[in-house]
Amino acid sequence: MNKDQDDSFEYRSVTTLKGVGPAVAGKLAKLDIHNVQDVLFHLPLRYEDRTRIVPIGSLRPGQQAVIEGVIEHSEVKYGGRRVRGRNGRSLLCYLSDGTGGIVLRFFHFNARQQANLGSGVRIRCFGEVRAGARELEIAHPEYRRMFENSVTAVEDKLTPVYPKTDGVHQTLLRNLATQVLTQLETGAVKDWLPESIRVQYSFPDLPTAIRTVHQPPPDVSLHQIEERRHPAQRRLVFEELLAHQLSLMQLRKRIQARKAQRLLLTSDAYRKFVSGLDFELTRSQQKVTAEILHDMSNATPMLRLLQGDVGSGKTVVAACAVLAAVVNGKQAAVMAPTEILALQHYENFCRWFDQDVYKCVLLTGKHKGKARAQRLEVIASGAAQIVIGTHALFQDEVEFKHLVLAVVDEQHRFGVHQRLALQQKGQRQNARTPGEVPHQLIMTATPIPRSLAMTVYADLDYSAIDELPRGRKPVSTVVVSNSRRQEVIDRVANACKHGEQAYWVCTLIDESEVLQCQAAEDAAAQLTEELHDLNIGLVHGRMKQAEKTAAVESFRQTQTDLLVATTVIEVGVDVPNASLMVIENAERLGLAQLHQLRGRVGRGSRKSVCVLMYHVPLSAQGKQRLAILRETSSGFVVAEKDLEMRGPGEVLGTRQTGLLELRIADIVREQAMLPEIKQAAEIVMRNHLDCVQPLIRRWLGTAERYGAV
């Protein structure tokens, strides 16, 4: 952004507006309002219709309305419970306009206010009508006295209601918006959406759209504007999503402007590796592998997101990518979110790759002192071609000889900054190839709806494994109340008696981790008492890593029949013999997490069952979530339903900064628009480069989208 733009009206400090001093500016900053443009794009949540006076006789409960009448009499009533902020009394004003009467109730009032609201006083007020004990009433209406011979017009526009914070009231926000809107006609705020796109979609210009959204005329459809379907809103929604798409495309463009090592894998080497596996790749795995290997054969960095349901076989696809790196004498890094998952990957890669030819090393936080120093040395020297670890991989002291591939598993648990940090290691490593960066393969077993992936991961190409390996059977899901707990315990006992293994998952996610772990310990003690013939293990987040690893390993080696755990086992525990899972308090978890947990069973040839045990009473949303899981085993269907129910913010998690701060757009509502957004972004990047940065700054602010690369 150049200096002229920084000095322009829209980027002036909010303190240049009337009524905003340092103290008020500090409060506005909590709403992310720092300059004039921020005021314009702090958009209303909803609207109130104060454009007409409604006869009192026509009022209905739940209606918001402007009414005018004469106070017949007032009285102070005592009684009722004393609650916080109330002293057990209220001022009641009986208002009439000839068509009917209504009570105005004030819980907070002073002597002057009481005197001003006496018999015979005419007032105009606004509020929400509710059913009182005997007649309709409005609690704490906004009001003004109407004096004899004075004529006060009603509002000529719908009244906006803005998102607010402590110390920032609607009156201030409306005043600021009005001040800024008066400058729109002067051209003080530039319209950065190219005219060709405005014409193509019949969008209004920016001043018209902004004014309409802040101060809708009285003839506008309130229903249409509250549902964000008005053309003025559609234009702003389009522009906001366009800005996010441009930010990711710009990131992708910067990365792809750099060079990457061309990694060619011969068909003979590929066939030899695949034939050495003790299973066959599915058609979907083969297709996705071909896409990845094609990317890696180019001199531009691969940037690919690989989605696959739990148990779909993403790890072996990643191994094929790693093969392309190591046969070329280079290094590959595989980063996992937990030590349990990192260890599992390490064991798989050691089994799949000849350790006499390709050395594989594991680096996690538990490696200290001499053991850590030795690992750092073999990584830095290049002697270790396959490096597997946790977040420890992107610590400053970890140096690679020639890192050409970074595989990041469970991307949503790291966030973009962390995967870029691993990429930058590859960029720094070799002075002979300045600017060269590793290829990136980003994997997730938490399916994200394609529409959302197109928006959030626009800097990545997209692949999906959409079938399970041969022999895998879908997991049956049973929903029962906790009143049948003994039946469930008996079912666990019977399964283990016949050589199967089971998980018992304790969830108290509304409580602290301490209480979660205590719940797991209590459940383990109780189950040990009831199932004294079984070997019962325990794993939770407050155990030392060595203890957790030992507990999981005992379960994997079938030395433990039943593993009691918190949701720490959600990712990374692969025990084919485990065919039964019980999840307590299942109603407390979201769809995606329940599906992830369910994915710990059904990984062998046995028929597997997941029992979702809930506490009564069950909420309507809780019933809906559990019903969805009972009806489908597809992670992609679950993801779509999860998006509909919770929205993109919670589905992605807070680490995905940027998209979660949408001001007016809604990804679920706007799904049909996303392909058009992508097409428009490509046009802007190709033909209107001068508009890119201003659009990004307008909607995303000065905060970095995904960090500099």
265-271: long-range contacts, CB 8 A cutoff, minimum separation 24: 265/293, 265/296, 265/297, 265/320, 265/323, 265/324, 265/327, 266/327, 269/323, 269/327, 270/320, 270/323
Per-residue pLDDT, 166: 84
Query: From CA 651, how far away is CA 643, in angstroms rounded?
Result: 6
Per-residue pLDDT, 103: 95
Per-residue pLDDT, 74: 93
Per-residue pLDDT, 625: 86
Query: From CA 37, how far away is CA 28, in angstroms rounded?
Result: 13
Per-residue pLDDT, 278: 86
Query: From CA 501, how far away is CA 116, in angstroms rounded?
Result: 76
DSSP state of 186: G
Most confident listed range (114-118, 316-320, 495-499, 669-673):
316-320
Mean pLDDT of 477-481: 93
The answer to whether the beta carbons of residues 326 and 372 sit under 8 Å apart is no
pLDDT category, 95, cuts 50, 70, 90? Answer: very high
- Among residues 594, 551, 558, 554, the alpha carbon closest in space to that of 576 is found at 558
Query: From CA 631, how far away is CA 633, in angstroms rounded?
Result: 7
Query: From CA 423, how far away is CA 425, in angstroms rounded?
Result: 5
Mean pLDDT of 57-86: 81
pTM comes to 0.69
pLDDT category, 646, cuts 50, 70, 90? Answer: low
Query: From CA 117, how far away is CA 114, in angstroms rounded?
Result: 5
* Better-predicted residue by pLDDT, 523 or 511: 523
Q: What is the mean pLDDT of the chain?
A: 84
- Among residues 437, 408, 413, the alpha carbon closest in space to that of 425 is found at 437
pLDDT at 344 over 80: yes
DSSP state of 614: E
Query: From CA 194, how far away is CA 690, in angstroms rounded?
Result: 10
* Better-predicted residue by pLDDT, 472 or 5: 472
pLDDT at 599 over 90: no
* Better-predicted residue by pLDDT, 655 or 411: 411
pLDDT at 326 over 50: yes
Strand spans (E) along 473-620:
476-481, 501-505, 536-539, 562-565, 578-583, 609-614
* Better-predicted residue by pLDDT, 642 or 190: 190
* Better-predicted residue by pLDDT, 262 or 647: 262
Per-residue pLDDT, 257: 82
pLDDT category, 707, cuts 50, 70, 90? Answer: very low
Most confident listed range (5-14, 555-564, 645-654):
555-564
* Better-predicted residue by pLDDT, 541 or 53: 53
In Å, what is the CA distance from 317 to each residue of 287, 407, 652? 10, 11, 24
pLDDT at 364 over 50: yes
Query: From CA 371, how far away is CA 379, in angstroms rounded?
Result: 13
The answer to whether the beta carbons of residues 66 and 53 sit under 8 Å apart is yes
Per-residue pLDDT, 432: 46
* Better-predicted residue by pLDDT, 698 or 649: 698
Per-residue pLDDT, 489: 94
Query: From CA 256, how far away is CA 349, in angstroms rounded?
Result: 29
With tokens 């017949």, the residue in question is 72
Strand spans (E) along 556-608:
562-565, 578-583
Most confident listed range (154-158, 229-233, 518-522):
229-233
Mean pLDDT of 301-326: 90
* Better-predicted residue by pLDDT, 651 or 194: 194
In Å, what is the CA distance from 509 to each residue of 217, 564, 567, 679? 46, 16, 9, 41
pLDDT at 97 over 50: yes
- Among residues 654, 590, 664, 677, the alpha carbon closest in space to that of 228 is found at 664
Q: What's the helix, strand, coil split of the chain in %, to 5? A: 45, 20, 40
pLDDT category, 702, cuts 50, 70, 90? Answer: low
The answer to whether the beta carbons of residues 551 and 560 sit under 8 Å apart is yes
- Main-chain phi, psi angles of 46, to 5 degrees: -160, -175
The answer to whether the beta carbons of residues 580 and 491 sit under 8 Å apart is yes
The answer to whether the beta carbons of residues 599 and 613 sit under 8 Å apart is no
What domains, with CATH codes, occur in the chain?
A: 3-46+161-227 (no CATH), 56-79+87-147 (2.40.50.140), 267-465 (3.40.50.300), 476-632 (3.40.50.300)
Query: From CA 60, how far away is CA 135, in angstroms rounded?
Result: 11
Q: Are strands 303-308 and 439-444 parallel, antiparallel or unpaired?
A: parallel
DSSP state of 135: S
* Contacts (Cβ under 8 Å, ≥6 apart) of 335: 389, 390, 391, 393, 394, 406, 407, 408, 409, 414, 419, 422
In Å, what is the CA distance from 235 to each residue of 203, 229, 526? 6, 10, 59
379-385: long-range contacts, CB 8 A cutoff, minimum separation 24: 379/331, 382/331, 383/359, 384/331, 384/359, 384/360, 385/325, 385/326, 385/329, 385/330, 385/331, 385/332, 385/358, 385/359, 385/360
With tokens 């509250």, the residue in question is 226
Per-residue pLDDT, 650: 47
Lowest-confidence region among 67-81, 100-114, 159-173, 628-642: 628-642
Query: From CA 516, how far away is CA 572, in angstroms rounded?
Result: 20
Mean pLDDT of 668-681: 85
pLDDT at 516 over 60: no
Q: Helix 620-631 crosses helix 591-598 at what angle (to 10 degrees)?
A: 40
